Structure 1
């Protein structure tokens, strides 16, 4: 599978996981991710993220959001 497709799949999985864990709609989660440029962050960190499980990636994204000032 091409890397761009792998990145897209990871972005979608983490978006859905965040929606569930933060008790937000997918739309609200997508808006949060857009505001803090999370999809770019996942794309740029994919080299490390692709060897980690989704749980570890989610925890990293959550820490990134908190560091950027997101109210979770």
Structure 2
């Protein structure tokens, strides 16, 4: 699998994990990830992230969102 495909696969897994943990539809997760450029963040960090499990990447993404000003109201 090419690196680009691996990145897309990881972005998809993390979006699905966020949907599950936050109990939100995948469309809402996509909007949040787009607004805060989470997909770009995962792509840029892939070199490190690919060595970690999805839970660790999710928690890093969650911290990233907090630093970007994401709050629970954004989930509504």
Superposition TM-score, scaled by structure 1 size: 0.97
Unaligned runs of 5+ in 1: none
Please identify runs of 4+ aligned residues in structure 1 that moved more than 2 A.
Answer: none
Name the CA distance, whole Å, in 2 between partners of 1:32 and 1:71. 11
Name the CA distance, whole Å, in 2 between partners of 1:43 and 1:5. 11
User: Aligned residue pairs: how many?
Assistant: 72
- Is 1:52 aligned to 2:52, yes or no? yes
Tell me the residue number matched to 2:27.
27
Superposition TM-score, scaled by structure 2 size: 0.92
Tell me the residue number matched to 1:11.
11
CA root-mean-square deviation: 0.6
